[in-house]
Structure 1
Amino acid sequence: MEMNWIAIFVAALSTLVVGFAWYHPKVFGTAWMKETGLTQEELAKGNMLKIFGLTYIFSLFIVMIEMSLTIHQTGAMGMIGGPMKINEALPSFTAFMADYGTAFRTFKHGALHGFMSGLFFAFPIIAINGLFERKSWKYIFIHAGYWLVTLTIIGSIICGWL
């Protein structure tokens, strides 16, 4: 099982693409700015290269961990010590991968696991932070919705794009 680097880079890029649409003033951007107390002028003062560059790097981190949550074969690979130990694996591993190496490797299955990651991992983290920061539920749902959609897309891309 080799890593599809193109899928990884495209999946990481999806955070920026979805963010562009999600936080657009005609979608949730105006509501988000109101909830945060920011204005278009304040947002324009940010170092966009730094913000988008670091966002992409952090998105690569998210994609790498999402791979282990959506691709079941990663667990089998982990049982033998990872890709570096593939040549030392017992014949039973090779037989298992021959039978199940592409099982559940679909866009739909990846989307399911990505959605579950958003609902049961990202949403609680965002909600906890929002509660302690005294943010509104509107603020929490805007951010949680973004991650729910984004992780669904990431899961779909990395699981289905063989």
Structure 2
Amino acid sequence: MELNLNMAAILVAVVVNFFIGFIWYTPLFGKVWGREMGYDSNTKPDPKVMVKGMIFMVIGNFFFAWVLAHNIAAWNFVPGVAEMGPISNALSSAFFLWLGFYFPGHLGATVWEQKSWKLFFIDAGYSLLSLIVVSLILTHWK
């Protein structure tokens, strides 16, 4: 059995996910997120730190999309998955990965690190949205 991965879809998912993160953590929730993280809104971040952060985010987004593509491709070998259709497959993959891996991590960080529940919902919401969007890209672009 061979896992067929579409590298173009993975790369597009990386770029789309980068922009989702930018929109989520800048105009949508940037001020609230920064305040909940304890950042001073009057201080501009060092440009070198910003560039380094963006580079590592792109690298992380690549691994995120690449591993998710493997996961989705592996599910194609499960009997009955083909009948689900690509949207159901994408939403199921995204939701169950989020519920099993992201949600517990965000929940634990919120409680153990005494972070705010606003921060929990911002970060957990981003994780779920990015999983859904990237899953939809990967399941529809064969």
Q: Structures share a fold, TM > 0.5?
A: yes
How far the C-alpha of 1:141 sits from its partner, in A, is 0.9
Partner Cα separation in structure 2 for residue 107 and residue 161 of structure 1: 12
How far the C-alpha of 1:108 sits from its partner, in A, is 4.4
Q: What is the aligned partner in structure 2 of residue 89 from structure 1?
A: none
The normalised TM-score by structure 1 is: 0.73
The normalised TM-score by structure 2 is: 0.82
- Across the aligned residues of Structure 1 and Structure 2, the Cα RMSD in angstroms comes to 2.5
Q: Does 1:140 align with 2:81?
A: no
Of all paired residues, the percent bearing the same amino acid is 28
Matches within 5 A, 1:26-105: 27-42=28-43, 44-46=45-47, 47-71=49-73, 72-73=75-76, 75=77, 104=84
Structure 1: segments with no counterpart, 5+ residues: 77-95
Partner Cα separation in structure 1 for residue 38 and residue 29 of structure 2: 14
Equivalenced residue count is 138
Which of the numbers 103, 110, 119 marks the counterpart of 1:123?
A: 103
How far the C-alpha of 1:57 sits from its partner, in A, is 0.9
How far the C-alpha of 1:65 sits from its partner, in A, is 2.0
Higher-Rg structure is 1
Distance 1:131-1:101 versus aligned 2 partners, 3 A rule: closer
Structure 2: segments with no counterpart, 5+ residues: none
Which protein, 1 or 2, shows the higher relative CO under an 8 Å CA cutoff with sep ≥ 6? 2
Partner Cα separation in structure 1 for residue 83 and residue 14 of structure 2: 24
